[in-house]
Structure 1
């Protein structure tokens, strides 16, 4: 095997992924982020009955209007979101992560997390980065799963809806992502 494939190929892939990822992502101003998050949340609540019902009982809703994920073999993802309490922005967070494996492409998507319990919301604030999949239980809902929800079975800590998926990211990888509070 050549020197390039043994020593430099992994470094080349990391640099290529970083360059690709950094050109796709752009942080919004506080006003833009608030407006985008409010718009996508309104659209979600207007078009999805389950989200509307959850919003009535949620203690807070964290909205990431746009997460960008891109890479080849090594991928990164990033997006910024707004935490709404009582219908108003109360804090700001980012979602950052990376993955390694057989994967290629770029995609954008958004998601909203409905915090149903104060203890789940406290976990978001009390950590050095809230890792999805550890701590409070998160249920990702789609149209099929969401239709079986009733007010009697809202028993989980957090419900999440993914929306506005665009692009293609294919492959298998080891992933990790964190949600961390930021200043805006």
Structure 2
């Protein structure tokens, strides 16, 4: 039996708001501009910003087998939410592939935000698994060193032995928290 939503929103209004929230995720993050040079320039700026704000991340980058840098993730939600961004995988400081990230969510949520994130692949196996997959989702084996505008990097012995380390920073907007859970990464050709 179909019952109306208890919030007073019709199903049509709810579906429209969800589509609107997902549509907002495409604003300001390079959608429609498949230019590799633009992505690389944004990656350079993002890495420099991270190193300037959190100098200890330079040590992580030096030890990492590879870095996936997503300069701008745009996330929006009104009940249902979504996020989208494009970035580059760098190995030894050189871009080897380009990726998009897509994330969907449902629940009590409202808002929009933009943030950057960097995944540090600390082992060759973690990097190889990522590159081999046709669509890779971040698992529970990732450890966050920066999240929700943390003030410093906490990299201890346990963190440095994790196969994947995530840094989320540079949030702008009104939204409660940034998380990478549920994000799916897919190789693209810019």
Tell me if both proteins adopt one fold, taking TM over 0.5 as the criterion: yes
Match of 1:166 in 2: 172
CA change 1:21–1:153 in 2 (3 A) is closer
Contact 2:145 2:155 in 1 (8 A): no
Secondary structure of residue in 2 paired with 1:49: coil
Which of 63, 69, 81 lines up with 1:75 in the alignment?
81
Query: Aligned residue for 1:17?
Result: 21
What is the aligned partner in structure 2 of residue 97 from structure 1? 103
**RMSD (Å) for aligned C-alpha atoms:** 2.5
Distance (Å, rounded) in 2 between the aligned partners of 1:47 and 1:15: 35
SS for the counterpart of 2:85 is strand
User: Residues of 2 paired with 1:25 and 1:110: CA distance?
Assistant: 10
The gaps in structure 1 that reach 5 residues or longer are none
Q: TM-score, normalised by structure 2?
A: 0.82
Q: 1:139 aligns with which of 137, 143, 148?
A: 143
Equivalenced residue count is 178
Misfit runs of 4+, over 4 Å: 1-6
Local SS of the residue matching 1:32: helix
Which one has the bigger strand percentage? 1
Alpha-carbon separation, structure 2, partners of 1:54 and 1:100 = 33
How far apart, in 2, do the equivalents of 1:77 and 1:108 lie?
9
1:18/1:113 CA distance change after superposition, 3 Å: closer
Could you tell me which of 108, 124, 148 is aligned with 1:118? Answer: 124
**Residues 5 and 91 of structure 1, relative CA distance in 2, 3 Å threshold:** same
Between the aligned partners of 1:116 and 1:58, the Cα distance in structure 2 is: 4
Secondary structure, counterpart of 2:175 in structure 1: strand
Q: Displacement, 1:176?
A: 2.3
Which structure 2 residue ranges, 5 or more long, are not aligned? none
Which of residues 152, 159, 163 is equivalent to 1:157?
163
**Cα distance between partner residues in 1 of 2:154 and 2:75:** 29
